[in-house]
Amino acid sequence: MLDFSFISLLARSSLLSIFPIGSRTFIFDQIFFIFLLLGTIVGIVVISYMVIQAYRYREDSTRKKDDIDRPKLGELPPQEDDGNKLLKSLLLSAVVVIALVVWTYGSLLYVEAQPSQIDDALTIGVEAYQFGFLFTYPDGYQSTGVLRAPVDRVTVLKITSRDVLHNFGSPDLRIKADAAPGQVSETWFLAESTGTYDSACYELCGAGHSYMLAEIIILEESEFEQWNKTKNNGN
């Protein structure tokens, strides 16, 4: 497995604070926002240019067809500037696309790198089976179908499978990871508010796949500690 700690360190330094840092939800929202913003700007520029050109070369009663200096059918437009315009637009597009790729990749490396960086993270084992999930807490306590974790604290999940290929995911927490027999995949989440989040299996794994659901209950830190203390007494 690759060690991204160096990149994660870079991402945390103020030098590279252009990368979003926070919960997965925050990071993915930032990426979505940047793409939406750039897409909107490009869309406005392209459509405006098209409308302006369409207006410029319009045909109406005050202008005769032949007065307008426009290419005839089958004729190539004159090259006024030796393709400078084309070169500029290609360069601009390349800069935008490469910057987007680098920025998105850097942000996602941080998402991938974080688990090993956090000291006070809660680590929970997730074992998928036909058809459900077994959660194992650091003290060995196990529960099926319900995962409890504290708010505002990184929870690292070590995911594996007892039988066939499964996939553990929760859309609200922006997590999704393969559960493969004999392998452990690691992912993490940071819930920003308390409540109950849905999670499910995202890999067709048999007749009970659709019923392979689990709840992730996010508690206040104090509530979680309280539950953590009493859970072994038959809770």
Residue 122, interface with ligand CUA (CB under 6 A)? no
Q: How far is the CB of 205 from ligand CUA (least distance, A)?
A: 3
Q: Which of 99, 213 has the CB closer to ligand CUA?
A: 213
Contact with ligand CUA (CB under 6 A) among 126, 205, 216, 219: 205
Q: Give the angle subtended at the CA of 178 by the CAs of 32 and 31, to the nearest 5°.
A: 10
Residue 212, interface with ligand CUA (CB under 6 A)? yes
Q: Tell me, what DSSP letter sits at residue 2? A: -
**By the 8 A CB rule, do 125 and 143 touch?**
no
Instruction: Write the CA distances from 52 to 45, 57, 86, 120, 150, integer angstroms.
Output: 10, 9, 18, 58, 56
Q: How far is the CB of 171 from ligand CUA (least distance, A)?
A: 15
Pick from 179, 183, 187, 201: nearest CA to 127: 179
Cα 156 from Cα 170, distance rounded (Å): 14
Residue 128, interface with ligand CUA (CB under 6 A)? yes
Tokens of 1: 């497995």
Residues in region 143-182 near ligand CUA by CB under 6 A:
166
Stretch that binds ligand CUA, among 30-38, 82-90, 138-146, 202-210 (CB under 6 A): 202-210
Which residues sit at the interface with ligand CUA, rule CB under 6 A?
Answer: 128, 166, 201, 203-205, 209, 212
